[in-house]
Amino acid sequence: MKLPKQVLPKRLLIRLVIVAVAGIFAWFNGGKYSEKAKSNSATTSQTAANPSLKEGDFDVFLNCKLINHEHNDGDSFHVAHGGSQIEYRLYYVDTPESRDKPYDNHQKRVKEQGLDMGGLSYKETISLGKKAKKFTTKLLKQNDFDIYTKHELVYGGPREYAFVRLQYQGKSQWLHEILAKENLARVHTWGTATPEGQSYKKHKSYLQSLTSY
């Protein structure tokens, strides 16, 4: 016996077509918007400002200004440029901690810094850290300075590694080199080829030759 064909009511068929079309539209736009959201999430406030110019792999921000901040130190500080406020950490050099803290890892770090810088005591190392902080703060406050960065994050962020160019003793110099020359920092942190193209290995060796501790 032949069974009769099941025919969907016309109203139900129209409703199913509308739902299907709406679903396809939502999927298309949802994917589009999610890609846009993904793209926006990758653009952080850290890198929002447009660089003044480009030198090789480096974005260069000219005429930057120091921002007063409680966490500024001899090798790490907050900077304003192009409407953005960013904390930068110098390549290559590590100034001693400028404060005593009761944490084991902090005290271990201070002892390592003192040992690397001529066998200083814990107290002497903290004192040198305060001197380095004061020195860097004064230099960056005296003049506008230029930031060279590839936006490499320090331990995952939010700080970025950078080179700093400024006027010192009547000529343009790199801040990390000045700190090494003044025996206010040890050569001990992340490095990269310099904006002039000197390799990491050669530049590290050069910095070590500047110190006298």
**Residue 60 burial by CB count (10 A; 0-12/13-18/19+): exposed, middle or buried?**
middle
Biggest CA-to-CA distance, the chain: 106
36 within some domain: no
User: Containing domain of residue 133, as a range?
Assistant: 46-210
Q: What is the pLDDT of residues 124-168, one digit of tens each?
A: 999 999 999 999 999 999 989 999 999 999 998 899 999 999 999
Number of domains in the chain: 1
Structure tokens, 141? 């406050």
118 within some domain: yes
> What's the gap between Cα 127 and its chain centre?
27
91 within some domain: yes
Residue 55 is part of a domain; what is its CATH number? 2.40.50.90
Q: What is the pLDDT of residues 184-200, one digit of tens each?
A: 999 999 999 999 999 99
Radius of gyration for the chain, computed over Cα atoms and rounded to the nearest angstrom:
28
pTM: 0.77
